[in-house]
A and B are shown apart, each in its own frame.
Chain A
Amino acid sequence: MNLEALIASSFDGLMLGFVYGLMAMGLTLIFGVMKVINLGHGPVIVIGMFAVLVMSQALGINPYLTLPVVAVLGIAFGVVMYFISLHRVINAPELTTLLATFAVNLIITGLMTVIFSTSPRGLDVSLGALQFGAVTILGTRVTAVVIAVIVTAALYFFLYRTRQGKSIRAVANNRNAAELMGIDSTWMLALSFGLGIMLAMISGALLATLFSFTVLSGGGLETKSFVIVVLGGLGNPTGALFGGIIIGLLESITTIFIPVSWVPVLEFVVFVLILLVRPNGIFGAR
């Protein structure tokens, strides 16, 4: 085994892990607040990717400068999606909300396929690289990590320091009690869905700066998000960040010991085992 290779790939994995964490945070936030597993998560990530692609190519804007626009679009889209697909069935059994969000998945995937076809795309961003011995750190990755951290911090500031954020947490804790305290729970549910979608879209935008992608990239990223969310504990945003880092590290480090193609086997076996043994995540209470 080669120590330098190990260090190099752990760095890579660590950095990717932050973006994965951000991606899964959107899913886990929505589950935490309204007990909905958003099966439209993958296509929403893809919307984020194409939003950057379109804006940067059509308008010639630097991809990173489009991120605030992506965020605003994300919240708006999430709120609309909530009212169209979920509001009516928010108290129905889980199956109903699973299918409602899956319907949205089909609609988005279908529309995106019609508009963009399924051919591979890529953003042409390069921010150079730093070299430390065998370790190469790409500028795009560092930037992605920094942005992921900023967005996470902003999310926490919002949830813990602002009135609306506190209301969201109250609704997540106990919707009836929150309503008795005069909180408009419908709006809070819509807003948190909007936030979840925003996180997914931003992470999509960041992933677009790192890898090439297609309209169908969402499927794999969605299942990866499930794994991360379960690792960190369903409904726990901090857990999602750690889960993301674990998966990022796992994907990069294990490839030194086992063939790349075995990594998903490991991931999903771990996923099922954690669901069985520690359904609140590896950091959660039993």
Chain B
Amino acid sequence: MKTLTNAPFWLLLVVIAVVAAAPVALNNVSLREDFFLILMLIILASSTNIIMGYTGYVSFGHIVFFGTGGYIAFFLMQSLQLHFVLAALCGGIAASVMALLIGVPVLRLRGAYFALATIGINEAMRSFVTNFEPFGGSIGMFFNFSVYDAYGGAKNAGQLAYYGIVAVALLTVAASFLIKKSKFGLGLMAIREDQDAAQVLGIDPARLKVLTYTISAFFPALAGAIFFFKNGIIEPGPAFELHRSIEALVMVMLGGYGTVTGPIVGAIVYDRLRSTLITAPPINLGTLTINLSNFHLVIAGVLLLAIVLFVPAGLIGWLRQRFAPVRRYLE
């Protein structure tokens, strides 16, 4: 494939890898935790973008794959003492199989109906897991201390989880780039623009969409497996949190719908903004004290609204529109 000899492709991956190596090189655990979260958000946003930005199907409940992957991997590690990497892969594959099965009927729905269905699937799954005793029901599951022993203790396990999330982030971004620049990706974008016209041009939309959905389910599932491995505890609420799913959509919009770098930039900006707001010291205006941390939701909302109304292409999309030469380097 031509993309594999494409400079921006490798440049992007190298930049991510180098930046991600910084906390390890500096041996800075709190920086590592920050980066872990950002990389996880990049995975969620980029994989959402594959189905939403390239194909035009807005998966509101994409977090269902994060939760499913997380639960299955956690269960395998906890009950069957399966190795972390293997368990994560199983979680990823299970989520993809699930996407394949539900994708066939659900991807026939268009627009708002599809969006609603994905919400319904996530909620159904969450309430099911809440009742599913093998997964600990509403209490969830937590590791025995012995689980981390296999990886040289909790501290090493944290390090391992970080390597895992870096690898998955690189994998996700690479997949996103390769898809965008492939014949497959072109077919997806044709479906996004006009599904009926795409059919007449020789594209089988059902096949392409289901395949895309299956791919886009794999990465968040791996992220979920790693996240909950690191946490040592998994509960239905945090695993299937609709809010997180919608945040991923916000990141995609912020950075630029349908671009490769957009979701990455969106995830970084969104995360930095949120944590800046949450940790900001109160502002004193004479007698009035404004605590920004309480306003972080409000500010996120105002920002999102401003983007949707005034910069619908997102940051990267806007740059690409305004400055044609940028297009060669910023996919």
Contacts and interface: CB of A to CB of B under 8 A. Distances in A.
Interface in A79-116: 84-85, 88-89, 92, 94-96, 98-100, 102-111, 113-114
Interface residues of B, number: 44
A58 interface: no
Contacts of A265: 124, 127-128, 131
Interface string A24-66: 0000000100010101000000000000000000000000000
A89 B309 contact: yes
A96 B311 CA distance: 11
A243 to B, nearest CB: 14
A226 B294 contact: no
B117 A275 contact: yes
8 contacts: A102-B246, A106-B304, A110-B297, A110-B300, A113-B297, A114-B294, A268-B121, A272-B120
A223 interface: yes
B113 interface: yes
Contact of A276 (B117, B138, B246, B249): B117
A99 B253 contact: yes
Contact of A99 (B105, B108, B111, B250): B250
Interface in B234-261: 242-243, 246, 249-250, 253, 257
Contacts, number: 129
Interface residues of A, number: 46
Interface in B88-125: 105-106, 108-109, 111-113, 115-117, 119-121, 123-124
Given A99-B250, A272-B124, A106 B297 contact: yes
A250 to B, nearest CB: 14
Interface centre among A106, A110, A230, A261 (most CB of B within 10 A): A106
B230 interface: no
Given A110-B296, A226-B119, A95 B52 contact: yes
A100 B309 contact: yes
A269 B124 CA distance: 6
Contact of A275 (B58, B113, B297, B309): B113
A264 interface: yes
A245 to B, nearest CB: 20
Interface of A: 31, 35, 37, 39, 84-85, 88-89, 92, 94-96, 98-100, 102-111, 113-114, 219, 223, 226-227, 230, 234, 259, 261-262, 264-265, 267-269, 271-272, 275-276, 279
B295 interface: yes
B308 interface: yes
B116 A106 contact: no
B298 A110 contact: yes
B116 A226 contact: yes
Nearest 3 A-B pairs (CB), nearest first? A110-B297, A106-B301, A110-B298
A286 B57 CA distance: 23
A24 B109 CA distance: 22
Nearest to A40: B301
A275 B109 contact: yes
Contacts of B130: 261, 264
Nearest to B138: A261
A276 B110 CA distance: 11
Nearest to B114: A275
B151 to A, nearest CB: 35
B302 to A, nearest CB: 6
Contacts of A35: 112
B116 A103 contact: no
Given A99-B253, A226-B116, A272-B121, A106 B298 contact: yes
A70 to B, nearest CB: 23
A162 B47 CA distance: 49
B326 interface: no
A106 B120 contact: no
Interface in B274-309: 294-302, 304-305, 308-309
Given A272-B121, A276-B105, A100 B127 contact: no
Contacts of A103: 301-302, 304-305, 308
A107 B308 contact: no
Contacts of B127: 261-262, 264-265, 267-268
B22 to A, nearest CB: 31
A272 B257 CA distance: 27
Contacts of B115: 37, 94, 98
Given A107-B297, A234-B112, A99 B120 contact: no
A266 B209 CA distance: 28
A86 B250 CA distance: 17
B123 A264 contact: yes
Given A234-B112, A261-B127, A264-B127, A99 B249 contact: yes
A277 B52 CA distance: 23
Contacts of B123: 223, 264, 268, 271
